[in-house]
A and B are shown apart, each in its own frame.
Chain A
Amino acid sequence: GAVVSQHPSRVICKSGTSVKIECRSLDFQATTMFWYRQFPKQSLMLMATSNEGSKATYEQGVEKDKFLINHASLTLSTLTVTSAHPEDSSFYICSARSTLEGVEETQYFGPGTRLLVL
């Protein structure tokens, strides 16, 4: 299957600092990438949809000025958590959509980034 990578896999930062997470589709081009957040023992929550070359679409309740998303190319999307606070500590997972044969779509997940804000 297609491969999606994320970096870093784990990050610990001080409150008030910003953290950038990279998501790359390694063997396919993804015009659309997605950012999810998952708190312990809870479901995946879609934060935003990232489209290459255009502004991200944020889900209700997600602050676009706090979670900056840049989809700079067909293989790279970044999520920057600005002025992080302890309540932002979570498991952040990106996902990239692959189009098979121009018709059918499949969505693959990166391995996730565990963020701990002290």
Chain B
Amino acid sequence: QKEVEQNSGPLSVPEGAIASLNCTYSDRGSQSFFWYRQYSGKSPELIMFIYSNGDKEDGRFTAQLNKASQYVSLLIRDSQPSDSATYLCAVIGYSTLTFGKGTMLLVSP
């Protein structure tokens, strides 16, 4: 059973702070890792993807991957109230995209 684990939250941070979202996965053969953002009532929106160990930065977002620890994280700098959403970690192993249940992030003004 391939699993992707996330803390359901909610994770509450004040505006301007760094939000840190974490995810672990069980399938060591996983190759591709994704972070999606899902606002209530909307479909998931791809924010970041990462394939190699290390950090990948895109604007206020940084994805971090550690394959040895089977751990992937998403940092959001200068958090804004508009970042309040559920963040889904997803992993592609052999062929299927496996989602975590998501972490709800609340950014307070």
Which A38-92 residues sit within 8 Å CB-CB of chain B? 43-44, 46, 49, 91
Cα(A111)–Cα(B46), bound, Å: 12
CB-CB under 8 A from A43, the residues of chain B are: 99, 101-102
Cα(A43)–Cα(B51), bound, Å: 24
- Residue A1 at the B interface, CB < 8 A? yes
Q: How far is the CB of A64 from chain B (nearest CB, A)?
A: 18
- Residue B17 at the A interface, CB < 8 A? no
- Cβ-neighbour of A44 out of B42, B44, B46 (below 8 A): B44
- Residue B32 at the A interface, CB < 8 A? yes
A contact residues, total (Cβ < 8 Å): 20
Question: Quick check: B43 and A111 within 8 Å, CB to CB?
Answer: yes
CB-CB under 8 A from B41, the residues of chain A are: 91
Interface of A is mostly: strand
B45 to chain A: closest residue by CB = A109
Question: Quick check: B44 and A106 within 8 Å, CB to CB?
Answer: no
**How does the 8 Å CB contact mask read for A86-104 relative to B, with 1 for contact and 0 for none?**
0000010101010000001
- Residue A18 at the B interface, CB < 8 A? no
Known: A34-B97, A44-B99, A46-B96. A107 touches B34 (CB 8 A): yes
CB-CB under 8 A from A104, the residues of chain B are: 31-32, 49, 51
Question: Quick check: A112 and B46 within 8 Å, CB to CB?
Answer: no
- Cβ-neighbour of B43 out of A34, A106, A109 (below 8 A): A109
Cα(A46)–Cα(B96), bound, Å: 10
Cα(A108)–Cα(B99), bound, Å: 13
Seen from chain A, the residues whose Cβ lies within 8 Å of a Cβ on chain B are: 1, 32, 34, 43-44, 46, 49, 91, 93, 95, 97, 104-112
Could you name 17 residue pairs across A and B whose Cβ atoms are closer than 8 Å? A32-B95, A43-B102, A44-B44, A44-B99, A46-B97, A91-B41, A93-B44, A97-B97, A104-B31, A104-B32, A104-B51, A105-B32, A105-B92, A106-B34, A109-B43, A109-B44, A110-B43
Seen from chain B, the residues whose Cβ lies within 8 Å of a Cβ on chain A are: 31-32, 34, 36, 41-46, 49, 51, 88, 90, 92, 95-97, 99, 101-102
